[in-house]
Amino acid sequence: MLINAMLSEISSVIVAAFLSVPGIVGQKDWSVTYTPQRICALKGSTVDIPCTYSYPRGYSVKKTLWFIYWPANSEPKDLSQNPQYRGRVEYRGNKKHDCSFRIKDLTERDSATYRFRFLTHYKRSYAGQPGVTLTVTDLQVSGYPDTVTEGQSVTLTCRTTCALSDSPAFIWYKNNQRLSFTSQELQITASIGDYYSCAVGGYESHAVTLNVECLRAETDSDTVTEGQSVTLTCRTTCAHLRDSRTFRWYKNGADLHETGSILQFRASSERAGTYSCDLWDGSYGYGKNLLCSAVTLSVRYAPKLISVSVSPSGEIKEGSSVTLTCSSDANPPVQTYTWFKKTGAVLSERGTGESYTITDLKLSDSGEYYCKVWNSVGGNQSLPKPLSVQYPPKSTSASVGTSNIQEGSSVTLTCSSDAKPPVQRYTWFKKNESGVWQTGSGQSLNFSNFRSWNSGLYYCETQNTHGAHNSTALLVSKQDVFFSDFFLGGPESAVHAAVGTTAFMALLLTAVILWMRRRKSTKSQNTEADRQDNKSPVYDDISGTALSHTAAQDTNRDNDEAAFYSAVQPVTIRNQEGGLYSTVQPVTIRNQEGGLYSTVQPVTIRNQEEGLYSTVQPTKINSYHYGDTLYSNGQEPHPQAEVEVQYASIRFTCASAAPR
């Protein structure tokens, strides 16, 4: 037994080795034959796929299978194990030479290419090429138009997506009743309510119902111009409906609540649309509605609902770009666009086209824009669209409410500017040599009690959403007591005025002291003469003398340009009893460069026991020096101007003359 088993195994190995040698067994000995290679079958039917195969002698088949896919590096999957085919496939061949295959209850998903494979005991396998291509089709009745009229001849076709493999007999049904026709095509006469189907080998198509139109909406013209009269007529084409009178009209599917077979109206853009009619058939179709196919009415009209839109929307800033677009409702569409701009009473044409773009916007581009549009029917224009170009503040200036600013007075500074949108914020600043600082906000800056330290340079800053702008600096200063017409320039002018006032008072006091000394000297020299005269009053006349520049220098060389000069004339004595009088005449000082001069008006001195009195009158200045003077208004004062100065009254006490 052991020896026989060993011999059998050795024989198998020798045979396998022999068969594996090329040329010993030809490839033609291995084959699979598919007849036919293409099959067309009906959906729901059962299809048999014929197949034969062969292999060399000495081999025996161990396994057979049908498959669709053969993934790389793996074995193909047997269809009998595929869930999609489970229970619907049947291998009808054997392990000799028959490989027939059956698929039941076909679906359109079964359309594919099928192949057969077998395996032998010697681990040799073979799969036949190219396989069988199966196409699953459905029966369809086709060939009829969407809408037919009653009595119209129509040809119906029982169609498949592929040619059936065998030549089956076609069966036709009308209203579920079998007809005697067996060809693929069927000639019929259309009638309302009839439906048809076809069948092959017991597999029937879906039934189709012809759309037999019994009603038709008609119009003399499907294109009219606005304002024209339109007449729509609902006509019946089915014999059994010709006596019906219950019609209804629809526009775009909505009930117009209009009855009668004729509908009339005046054409307008609102009337354009699709119209249809129906009727209530109480005698046929168990009272169902019969709706005709719609007719489209086109109305031609001139442009309307014209409007202008601005892009981008929102604020329009100076220097930016903007596009105006004209839109309208018109039939036929607008053919010509023209743009106009209106500024006040001035109208100007700006461009053409559906859109108009303005780049680098300027203030002058502000105005009202509108478009005029035309088509073949007529023309119209839009309402004006205002375009307001906004810009940051410009032309900013500061002003003071009064030019006569006094110590303690109320002063208001006002800021004005041109801006769009209007200025939203005003800020006031003051500056000098040390820097700039904020002094207030608001369009006005108020000083209820103006002081010297409030003097200075002021400017305002204006702001809106687009930017800011500063005014030029405004010099604000109070006027000096003595030189208000000369020094309106600022804090430095106030200092100059104070120095001038002090110098003038010092000069005046010096003049009075000199006069008193002179008076005492004269009095001593004339005492003896007075006693020898009668008891009449004595008058002393001092007349004014005009001093030249040289004479003034000789009189007092130590004095500077602000020196005070005076001249005393001989005394005229009148014999009057009761007092001593002296008159000081005006001293006129001319052409003194840089100096401050004063004129002392007549001094009346009365001889009384208890005192000597003197009155000083206003000074008249004939010449000024303008070299270092700052004027706020930019103009020099008139040389003949007079400065009103109020002087104090001075009382002098003199002793009475002693008797000789």
In tens, the pLDDT along 20-49 reads: 443 344 556 899 999 899 999 999 889 999
- What per-residue confidence (pLDDT) applies to 590? 42
* Phi, psi for residue 201 in degrees, rounded to 5: 55, 35
Paired residues of 445 in beta bridges: 413
Give the Cα separation of 285 and 306 in Å (integer): 50
Place of tokens 């869930």: 83
Position 108 pLDDT exceeds 80: yes
CATH class of 391-478: mainly beta
Q: What is the DSSP letter of 593?
A: T
Indicate the range of 187-196, 220-229, 235-244, 345-354 predicted with least confidence: 235-244
Query: Which amino acid is located at 535 in the chain?
Result: K
Position 535 pLDDT exceeds 70: no
- Given strand 47-49, what is the order of strands in its sheet? 47-49, 101-103, 89-91
pLDDT, mean of residues 563-586: 40
Q: Are 447 and 415 in contact (CB under 8 A)?
A: no
Position 74 pLDDT exceeds 50: yes
Indicate the range of 255-259, 323-327, 380-384, 520-524 predicted with least confidence: 520-524
Would you say the CATH fold of 391-478 matches that of 28-136? yes
Give the Cα separation of 555 and 566 in Å (integer): 9
Position 644 pLDDT exceeds 50: no
126 compared with 527, residue with greater pLDDT: 126
CA 176, 182, 186, 189 dihedral sign is negative
Token duo for residue 8: 């059998």
**CATH assignment of 301-387?**
2.60.40.10
Query: For residue 129, which of 27, 59, 57 has the smallest C-alpha distance?
Result: 27
Position 371 pLDDT exceeds 50: yes
Give the Cα separation of 121 and 340 in Å (integer): 98
For the beta carbon of residue 595, count every other beta carbon within 10 angstroms.
Answer: 22
340 compared with 607, residue with greater pLDDT: 340
289 compared with 421, residue with greater pLDDT: 421
Provide the 3-class DSSP secondary structure of residue 411.
Answer: strand
What ranges do the domains of the chain cover? 28-136, 138-212, 214-293, 301-387, 391-478, 492-652
- What per-residue confidence (pLDDT) applies to 660? 40
Q: Are 412 and 403 in contact (CB under 8 A)?
A: no
* Phi, psi for residue 517 in degrees, rounded to 5: -65, -45
Give the Cα separation of 382 and 334 in Å (integer): 13
Paired residues of 413 in beta bridges: 400, 445
Q: Are 62 and 121 in contact (CB under 8 A)?
A: yes
Is 2.60.40.10 the CATH classification of the domain at 28-136?
yes
Beta carbons within 8 Å of 643's beta carbon, 6+ residues apart: 482, 483, 485, 619, 621
- What per-residue confidence (pLDDT) applies to 401? 86
Token duo for residue 451: 């002081």
Indicate the range of 86-100, 220-234, 476-490, 539-553 predicted with least confidence: 539-553
CA 207, 210, 214, 219 dihedral sign is positive
Q: Are strands 289-291 and 295-311 parallel, antiparallel or unpaired?
A: unpaired
As a whole number of Å, the end-to-end CA separation of the chain is: 203
Alpha-helix runs per DSSP H in 254-398: none
Token duo for residue 426: 């005003």
Element at 20 (helix H, strand E): helix 2-20
Could you please state the CATH topology (level 3) that the domain comprising 214-293 is classified under: Immunoglobulin-like (2.60.40)
Element at 149 (helix H, strand E): strand 148-149
- What per-residue confidence (pLDDT) applies to 135? 94
Paired residues of 63 in beta bridges: 119
Q: Are strands 212-213 and 203-204 parallel, antiparallel or unpaired?
A: unpaired
CA 337, 343, 344, 349 dihedral sign is negative
Provide the 3-class DSSP secondary structure of residue 539.
Answer: strand
The CATH homologous superfamily for domain 138-212 is Immunoglobulins (2.60.40.10)
Half-sphere exposure of 207 (CA within 13 A, CB side): 11
Q: What is the DSSP letter of 293?
A: B
Give the Cα separation of 183 and 157 in Å (integer): 9
- What per-residue confidence (pLDDT) applies to 28? 67
Give the Cα separation of 37 and 312 in Å (integer): 68
Give the Cα separation of 482 and 621 in Å (integer): 13
* Phi, psi for residue 608 in degrees, rounded to 5: -125, 160
Query: Which amino acid is located at 186 in the chain?
Result: L
Position 650 pLDDT exceeds 80: no
Provide the 3-class DSSP secondary structure of residue 109.
Answer: helix
Q: How confident is the model at residue 157 (pLDDT cuts 50, 70, 90)?
A: very high
- What per-residue confidence (pLDDT) applies to 207? 92
Mean pLDDT rounded to a whole number for the chain: 76
Position 306 pLDDT exceeds 80: yes
